[in-house]
Chains A and B, each alone.
Chain A
Amino acid sequence: MNGNAPTGEPLFGLREMELNFGPQHPATHGVMRLKLKVDGERIVDCYPIIGYLHRGTEKLFELHPFFQNVPHTDRLDYVAAATNNLAYVGAVEKLVGLVVPPRARYIRVILAELQRISSHLVWLATHAIDIGAMTPFFYCFRERELILDLFEQYCGARLTLNSMRPGGQPYDLPQGWVERCGEFIAEFPAKVDEYEDLLTENRIWKRRTVGIGVLPPETAIAYGVTGPMLRGSGVDWDLRKALPYEAYGEVEFDVPVFHNCDTYDRYLVRIEEMRQSARIIRQCLDRLPDGPIMAKRPRVLKAAAATEAYHAVEGPKGELGFYIVGDGSTNPYRCHVRPTSFMNLQALPEMSRGALISDLVALIGTVDIVLGEIDR
């Protein structure tokens, strides 16, 4: 039963068993269901079934004015609310034509990068616990808690932030926030070292991840996979570099790219991204400009008739885009989300064919999905 055992004709007729993995299973991260065809422990086929968390969010967008839709975005990828806010308000600003003042742009980048770190922490915690390493879970949540505290001090919410508005920011940074955030950022790289001590060179961890779930760059692109998954497959594509938005053009950071296309490399990409995010936040805190935090805008936003806009940002999981159509009223005529997790999930059956059940949980972890975003 090793990785390269021949998978030919079964010896004694049909040996496959159908196995329902989820929607209530500890490793499916929410309510995803995988219909598996397994031969012993080997996966013959994998068929994801989604929709258990469908709430009709895209339809909800049409029922409210532009600025009242921000809370709906919080509930898409609920471990990365700030990123969703950012993508949505970006699309509205493009549609209506608002110019965001520099201070607001910097605050947005800080929030988005904090959110990236916290999303990656949740990913690392669950990924590690799926593979059987229990302790990193608690370490990661310890740091995530500090980030959530920072969010709470900024906007009062910890998870569903509602932290951005079309045209700028609803609040300025409270007194002392910059210092507290700076302290966290100064300590954070040492914490990442701590996670790496437990995992990166751990033989069992490497055995469980190196060469598992290989996703060649062509396949990744064909499936529309983005984010750390794509960069783990050796494609240097990051919207923050490729199409800089907000203040990303003004800060220095590296985009980690690894070329082995396996679960281990995707792990390395995300670990390095956490360090780079800390670097970005440091620069933003140092250069935070003064000035207004909200553009001059009418009290009620109206899009011109028959206009459309698409704005995408590099979320923690990949490209997150909002496509909004305006019809001259105060509400979006149609709002479509380009969900990262949905696209990335498509690659899961491809990666899991021929793998073992144990690999499947590693693969679900490495895809890093959030069902709130897939089902919407």
Chain B
Amino acid sequence: MSWAWLDSLRETIGQPQFTLLFAPAAKFLVAIVVILLIIAYLVFVERRLLGFLQVRLGPNRVGPWGLLQPIADILKLLIKEDTIPNRAVRWAYLLAPCLVVAPAFVIFSVVPFGPSPNAPGAPRWYVTDLDAAIIFVVALASLGIYGIILGGWSSNNKFSLLGGLRSAAQMVSYEVPQGLALVGPLMLAGSMSLVGIVESQAQRGLWFAVPQIVAFFIYFVAGVAETNRNPFDLPEAESELVAGFHTEYSGVRFALFFLGEYANMIVISAIAVTVFLGGWLRPFPSIEALAFLDLIPGAVWFFLKVFAFLFLFIWFRGTFPRFRFDQLMALGWKWLIPLALANLMVTGLLVVLLNGRT
């Protein structure tokens, strides 16, 4: 038996075209698996944390400290019957959950999880570095809405329909302030690449959350609304609309919606961390006395910050009542958008004035 095939394989792998295709795909796969695991355990952490906030224990029976609970939940959802209502619009009904999940995962391909090593050819902490990454993120995030609207409409259920309508209005209106809030840091960084934005923060030795505190706040509020989380969880408000747009979904398809929501939470947090909180940078990157913090790898800092945001999401859920639909719209259009526009003008003026001086 000859080993020629191995040599030819080695040759193929060595070719630059192959690396170009294979390496991102492999990285994306790794990223997806990691994100899936994070989501599974995010749900677990949420339940335990809520339990802590609500003087109860939370799931603690499956495995040590309930650590296997997410696995059990996933298994349960996988083997449940996947029902489709009789008069549902079949293709839309089947397509909707995928439309929610896919964009959320694709966004992770542009998020830099850590600093890039200087050595050429060394593996980098991102799948790809688009020079229009922010636009890519905003565009994909808005794609997810279609899934929710379609899911709500195609189920042939009035509660689903109302949930779909609510989320259409909510997500469309909150995308505007969210996008506007991202423009401020863009102007400061002068780059739309997420890597570029973090590097610009490193250069200045300043997280953009400091000069762009208003934008940061707007982005986060809009982000909570975008992910349909409490206090903006109207599309799936169980006391009003049963389960909102996913009332009719069961089994795996319900799990996909669930996955989409949590993936979106992580996306929102990851983008907030990258754009406003210096991505993989340590706190106070300009202060030399804290240089020892650099011993902790950048990716760890990144995930720590992301988890801080996720904790906020959960904390909100334990604390706030729900907004009413019209109040939510009023908050978006009457407060967040004007505020974001004002912030944009001030930032623009400052950038022009300061750059003119130097």
Contacts and interface: CB of A to CB of B under 8 A. Distances in A.
Interface of A: 1-3, 17, 19, 25-27, 40-41, 128-135, 137-139, 142, 198-199, 202, 204-205, 207-208, 356-361
Given A1-B326, A17-B158, A204 B55 contact: no
Contacts of A204: 231, 320-323
Contacts, number: 90
B56 interface: yes
A135 B158 contact: no
A358 B53 contact: no
Interface of B is mostly: helix
A361 B239 contact: yes
Contact of A27 (B239, B324, B330): B239
Contacts of A40: 165
Given A1-B329, A132-B231, A204-B231, A139 B55 contact: yes
B319 A132 contact: no
Given A2-B326, A41-B325, A128-B321, A135 B239 contact: no
A196 B179 CA distance: 37
A240 B327 CA distance: 40
Interface of B: 50, 53-56, 158-159, 162, 165-166, 230-231, 233-234, 237-242, 317-327, 329-330
Residue from the set B54, B318, B321 with the largest chain A CB neighbour count within 10 Å:
B321
Contacts of B165: 40
B224 to A, nearest CB: 13
Residue from the set A2, A135, A142, A202 with the largest chain B CB neighbour count within 10 Å:
A135
Given A27-B240, A358-B240, A133 B324 contact: no
B330 A2 contact: yes
A26 B321 contact: no
Given A1-B325, A135-B318, A137-B54, 15 more contacts: A25-B242, A27-B239, A27-B240, A40-B165, A41-B162, A41-B326, A131-B239, A132-B322, A133-B320, A138-B54, A138-B56, A205-B321, A208-B321, A208-B322, A358-B234
Given A142-B55, A207-B324, A135 B233 contact: no
B239 A134 contact: no
Contacts of B322: 131-133, 204, 208, 358
B330 A132 contact: no
A204 B231 CA distance: 9
A3 B325 CA distance: 11
